[in-house]
Chain A
Amino acid sequence: MFILRFLARRLFQGAIIVFLVSALIFTLLRVVPGDPVRLMAGGMAPEALIEQIATDMGLRDPIWQQFGRYMGGVMQGDLGQSFVRPANGAAVGGASFDDTTRSERAEVLTLIAETAPMTLQLALLAMVFALIIAVPIGVWGGLRPGGWPDRMALYLSSLFVSLPNFWLGIVLALILSVKLQLMPAIGYQGFAYTILPALVLAIEIAPFVIRTLTVSVAGVMRQNFIDIAGVRGLTRNQIVFRHALKNSSVPLLNLLGVQFSMLLGGVLVIEFIFDYPGLGLLTINAVMQRDFPLIQGIAIVTAAAFVLINIAVDLIATAIDPRLEY
């Protein structure tokens, strides 16, 4: 079966990528300075105790041994436990060294599973907004290559890529929620809190969608079958929406695969400014607290998501356009 062979090959390649990502992050975290045990135990803990905790946790073993142990766990779906976060909830940061609750630390997998849906909600809404902003601009630009709609598309996308997300977030929060009081900005107490972050993320994504659409719509409109469609008596709108947009959907899908990591980068910063409790905020906090297992877990999960999304993108693209082969 073609499809099974395709899946097997891509999943195997994906597994190698995820393995390499794990190795890269794991090594990186251990060669850079900064002792996480010092942070976990608190500044007042005696040196001997820190050494003892580190040895108990296996942090003084050679890197390859630690990595082997870690990957063994990952194979069984165990991403380890957070260094600093307790299992019971919000409290974070350097606990006192004689804290008895330290044994009950949160599972990395649970932390990721709790926050991922929030980020997914944000990303999906952002994509909807991005399409609403970008499709009219991009399609119009593509229909008149060299004309002023095309120029407009170029100017607008150049402007949109030039808006740093954290600055745009602050400006929009100032205008839309402080001055005009249209929507809430900081924290999360309901769906309305997703709108503003999603809008900022959408403006970050929009230029890529505009560019892809302008190029592909312009390309499709040069094809013979578009002229023939006119002869067949289809109206201009029917031609644009049935033929041009359908043929642009494959490059758009590919864009999603390629720009996935950019999307995640945007999510990270935007969740941080708006204090939106998703995967991005979790990542930033994990880095600030040197929570190695959590950083590793997030890197592995995002790499796996990247691989799976790219496989899905290729499968869907083949379904839309059977001429494509992978």
Chain B
Amino acid sequence: MSSMDITSAPPEIARERKVSTRIWQQAFASVEFRIGLIVLTLLIAAALLYPQLSGIDPTKMNIKAKLTPPVFMGEGWTWAHPLGTDQLGRDMLVRALVGLRYSLLIGVSTTVLMLLVGALIGLFAGYFGGRIDTVLMRLTDAQLSIPMIILAITILGVSRPTIPSIILVLGLAGWPVYARVMRSTVMAERKKEYVRGAMVLGATDWRIMFTLLLPLVLPPMAFVAVLDIARMMIFESVLGFLGLGVQPPTPTFGNIISDGRKYLMNAWWIATMPGVFLVLVLTSINLMGASLERARNAIYGGA
């Protein structure tokens, strides 16, 4: 069967697999990638284990212990609450770590969603060209010209925010960039020999798009998407801060900080401490993402 030949034919795919491995290896060799990986692993482990192991309920109030400062940070601190407590006596460390779980969950799923949507739209636009391309790209331009956050708060502000709706809204707001990159890569690839060869051999458009082009073009885009996980986590926290994220009593970075802002004068730690966690996580993801991106650019030679 001719279709069997097509899948084994292009040498590009074999080379591409190796490129992905080389990118990982080169990134892993850099100091910043390792530091990021270690810090991130520790924080994720803490977020998964500590709330269970300590047995502290992040929503349990304890008015007697309210507004306890973090350790070494003022009158009446205790090791029972290393990061102190909030205005209702809830443990800040557990709240921050549970917030981190939601932040990561939403950040990762949103990025995957927008990568897939963007890749599919870009694939169709780049492969078919012509009118489909024009329509899809105008749509992309239009969406790029509305600040994503206006779009997100408009939708979430008038409907009720839930975890799936937040993921959906952020994911749908973020795809245009991926669509553009995918489109231009696919346009360049489809002119190449192996794609034409597959066409001549009678492979369907569907087959060329999903078995030849997508596996080839998606991995390099996925490396860049690591940076977007951090961006989406920031967006999630901004939404929470504006009251449009996951709703209380579920703790998220955004709603903890928004609550804490009211007590800034007598309990500064409520608004600031969870943010330190968020910054640590984001910095490690960004360091890893940046070194992956550098490795990718070094191997692909710029662009």
Contacts and interface: CB of A to CB of B under 8 A. Distances in A.
Contacts, number: 139
Contact of A262 (B141, B147, B241): B147
Interface string B271-286: 1100100110011011
Contacts of A272: 242
B158 A21 contact: no
B116 interface: no
A229 interface: no
Nearest to A19: B142
Interface in B111-170: 138-139, 141-151, 153-155, 157-159
A284 B153 contact: yes
Interface string A178-190: 1000000000000
Interface string A260-282: 01101100110010000000000
Contacts of B154: 25, 28-29, 287, 295
A170 B111 CA distance: 27
B158 A24 contact: no
A161 B286 contact: yes
Contacts of A151: 32
B146 A302 contact: yes
Contacts of A161: 230-231, 282, 286
Contacts of B146: 21, 24-25, 261, 299, 302-303
Interface size class of B (residues with CB under 8 A): 35 or more
A290 interface: yes
Contacts of B254: 166
A33 interface: yes
Contacts of B230: 161-162
Given A167-B272, A170-B261, A154 B147 contact: no
Contacts of A33: 158-159
Contacts of B141: 13, 17, 20
A6 interface: no
Given A32-B158, A288-B157, A16 B278 contact: no
Interface of A: 13, 16-18, 20-21, 24-25, 28-29, 32-34, 151, 154-155, 157-159, 161-167, 170-171, 174, 178, 261-262, 264-265, 268-269, 272, 283-284, 287-288, 290, 295, 298-299, 302-303, 306-307
Given A165-B238, A298-B150, 13 more contacts: A20-B142, A34-B158, A34-B159, A154-B32, A154-B287, A162-B285, A164-B237, A166-B254, A264-B150, A265-B149, A269-B242, A302-B145, A307-B145
Interface of B: 32, 138-139, 141-151, 153-155, 157-159, 230-231, 234, 237-238, 241-242, 253-254, 257, 261, 264-265, 268, 271-272, 275, 278-279, 282-283, 285-287, 290, 294
